[in-house]
Amino acid sequence: MKVLLLAFCASCAFAGAGERERPLMRDFIGQNVDAAQPLQPSRVMRSYPEDPATKWLENFRQMQKSRAEHAPAKELWETDFGFDTPGITEEQRATWTARAFLLLAGFGVDRAHFVSPKDAGESQIHGIAPNHQPEPVFHALAWLRRSLGDYRFARVEREDAGDCFCYEFIHSTDAKKSIWAIWKPAGDPLVVRLFHDPLLVTRAERMPLKIGNAEVANVKLEIEGYFAIEAGERPIFVWLDEK
């Protein structure tokens, strides 16, 4: 297997998933592997992944373009990515991590490995549930896996930093079912309008930060085939079926 390797977020220890995941996670999040000559890790990132100042999206677009032109048969792996905890809240860490996975899916990354810093003064991996106490990022990724486990990235519906990002995922065995992931990269929440006809909205959830059911997101159906929803930094998933 020929692989293009990327590394992101220095000073982190690996805390990947095992091999008994559901389909999307088995393809997209897996155990670390031995690889020759990976790229050097980039600087620690303490801003949201869509922030133009970090050039994260810009660099991935360049890598995506380069692969398409020069190595289309090679897989693209993100070998180490995460968000350093000093200077950011646990809610931000959870939110940015979940959005990073959605963005990586949109870039066609074949496999991505989430990493996490160590506990201060401790030798064990910090992970997403230190001392068996799940943190917000644990609940965010559990929801991501539970919701998108049987789905695959299909297309970008909207990608506007001042409005919202909206990515469509299609069920792997039932093309009539889809999920739209919607979020606003930064700033105050904003009511956005998205054209969904001929699809039927069945439910909507906002990414959870704690144990329990995810918060129901309010979807307002409008005339002319649009729905309105308040997009914020925490992603919302909207389930849609063909009528």
Residue 99 neighbours by CB distance under 10 Å: 23
Return the SS3 of 95. helix
Whether 239 has a pLDDT exceeding 90, the answer reads: yes
Among residues 194, 196, 214, 195, the alpha carbon closest in space to that of 206 is found at 214
- For 236, counting Cβ atoms within 10 Å of its Cβ (0-12 exposed, 13-18 middle, 19+ buried), the class is buried
pTM of the complete model beyond 0.85 = no
Mind listing the pLDDT tens digit for each residue in 15-26? Answer: 223 323 333 333
**Chain-centre distance of CA 60, in angstroms?**
14
- For 235, counting Cβ atoms within 10 Å of its Cβ (0-12 exposed, 13-18 middle, 19+ buried), the class is buried
How are strands ordered across the β-sheet holding 165-171?
Answer: 151-159, 165-171, 177-183, 236-242, 199-206, 215-216
154 within 8 A of 170, measured Cβ to Cβ: yes
Cα gap 189→186, rounded to integer Å: 8
Domains along the sequence of the chain with CATH: 3-148 (no CATH), 151-242 (2.60.40.1180)
Whether 195 has a pLDDT exceeding 90, the answer reads: yes
Pick the range with the lowest mean pLDDT from 27-36, 175-184, 223-232.
27-36
22 within 8 A of 96, measured Cβ to Cβ: no
Band (129; pLDDT cuts 50, 70, 90) = low
Cα gap 181→167, rounded to integer Å: 5
**Chain-centre distance of CA 190, in angstroms?**
20
State residue 117's pLDDT score. Answer: 63
Whether 234 has a pLDDT exceeding 70, the answer reads: yes
Cα gap 143→98, rounded to integer Å: 9
